Amino acid sequence: MATDRRARAAAEQELALTAPLGHDALLAGLCASVRAGRLAHALEFVGPAGVGKFLVARWFAAALLCDRGPARGGLHDGPCLECGACKRFQAGSHADVFVVDVRQEAEKERSEQLRIGRFVPREEARSTYWGGATVEDFLGLRAASGLWRIVIVREAERMNSEAQNAMLKSLEEPAPNVLWILETSEPHELLPTIHSRAIAVRFEALALELAAEILARAELEPAAARELARWAGGAPGVALELAAQAALELRAVTLAVLVGEAPSTTAAAAVWAVEGEFVGKTERAQQRTRVRRVLDTALELVRDRERLRAGLAPAELPHGGVAAELARAAALATRGESRRALHTLLGCRSDLESNVDPQTVLERALLAFAPPPAAVRARG
């Protein structure tokens, strides 16, 4: 089955260790503090979503446990990938690392709420790599390697307050040689007491060329890689998500409406015909994810159209690659019409989250940002 194959490939990729690109200085700093024996017991990896924070967390954890790594005096700022410890890490069987993937838990439970922050995971954080054991089970054991015991929490902001409070107890009474790495792109969702116990490690978005290179390695064709890297603001993880949702195709459909080339009914049919991966437990949830992508894209395009009108250079815009089409669209709608379109689109966005039928929302949204028929007629 294709889906089995994909799931297996995803699981293997989850365990594989790939050197993260674009964060060398940050890794060098972390490894230097290990060699100097002054690594904090809790690190908060903060920065934009999709820039590689979780990749770096696993890479650094592997480096700490590596037989030739910085904790053993090694000079390389990463794992060797060859020793017994590295092999166990990559097989998912290293006893000294515990990964709580709150993101994966969220996807399993109520995927459609992933982006709107209402999701509250189970109280006890359980590891995906430890067959459902809890963090407490893990912390109750002695380090098998004699080095560090490492807990990585992915998308820590999704933990509810009970889970955060439970974690706080461990942070307040740090056990020797236990390291927590909390990964988050929404640090304001974490308790202030957690911030005060952890050392912040700040990540930046990658340069567009580097992000595009990473995407090309993930087998995206170069033109699409460049376009998506720019759309995602230098966050390869976000760009890959856009690619999975066939976002460039959906953007083309949206643009055709904006420039008055496609009537909204044709566009609605085209939106449903695009093949992409739209997460959701039920068919309706998947439809909602698809329509959310169209609405978000339309919002961004209308905003970029107004930024162009205000004189910003295309290179400064996430959708600068379609500046010519946006300029054509600007000739068909006034600023006031753009404002009204934005207002309606935001209303559609909140209707979508309050469970209004996705098809109805899509049709209303497409009508809202289509140029007035008189403007299209006047152009001829």
For Zn ion, the binding residues (CB under 5 A) are 66, 79-80, 83, 86
User: Closest separation between CB of residue 71 and Zn ion, Å?
Assistant: 11
Q: How many beta carbons lie within 10 A of that of residue 209, not counting itself?
A: 10
Q: Which of 125, 129, 202, 127 is nearest to 170 (CA)?
A: 125
SS3 of 184, please? Answer: strand
Two structure tokens written together for 166 = 């439970």
d(Cα 183, Cα 294) in Å, to the nearest integer?
29
Taking the least distance from each CB to Zn ion, the nearer of 80 and 208 is 80
For every residue of 67-121, DSSP letters joined together read: TTSGGGT--SSS--SSSHHHHHHHHT--TTEEEEEHHHHHHHHHGGGTTTT----
Taking the least distance from each CB to Zn ion, the nearer of 83 and 224 is 83
Taking the least distance from each CB to Zn ion, the nearer of 60 and 369 is 60
Which amino acid belongs to residue 146? G
DSSP 8-state secondary structure symbol assigned to residue 74: -
User: Closest separation between CB of residue 61 and Zn ion, Å?
Assistant: 12
Which helix (H) or strand (E) element contains residue 43?
strand 42-46
Taking the least distance from each CB to Zn ion, the nearer of 78 and 321 is 78
Taking the least distance from each CB to Zn ion, the nearer of 56 and 322 is 56
Place of tokens 């955060």: 164
Taking the least distance from each CB to Zn ion, the nearer of 71 and 212 is 71
Instruction: Specify whether the CB–CB gap between 239 and 229 falls below 8 A.
Output: yes
Taking the least distance from each CB to Zn ion, the nearer of 18 and 265 is 18
Two structure tokens written together for 6 = 């994909």
Instruction: Specify whether the CB–CB gap between 183 and 154 falls below 8 A.
Output: yes
Two structure tokens written together for 261 = 């080339």
Two structure tokens written together for 235 = 């966050």
Taking the least distance from each CB to Zn ion, the nearer of 65 and 194 is 65
User: Closest separation between CB of residue 43 and Zn ion, Å?
Assistant: 21
Q: Which of 191, 174, 241, 231 is nearest to 208 (CA)?
A: 231
d(Cα 26, Cα 28) in Å, to the nearest integer?
5
Q: How many beta carbons lie within 10 A of that of residue 7, not counting itself?
A: 11
User: Closest separation between CB of residue 90 and Zn ion, Å?
Assistant: 10
User: Closest separation between CB of residue 82 and Zn ion, Å?
Assistant: 6
The residues facing 99 across adjacent strands are 152
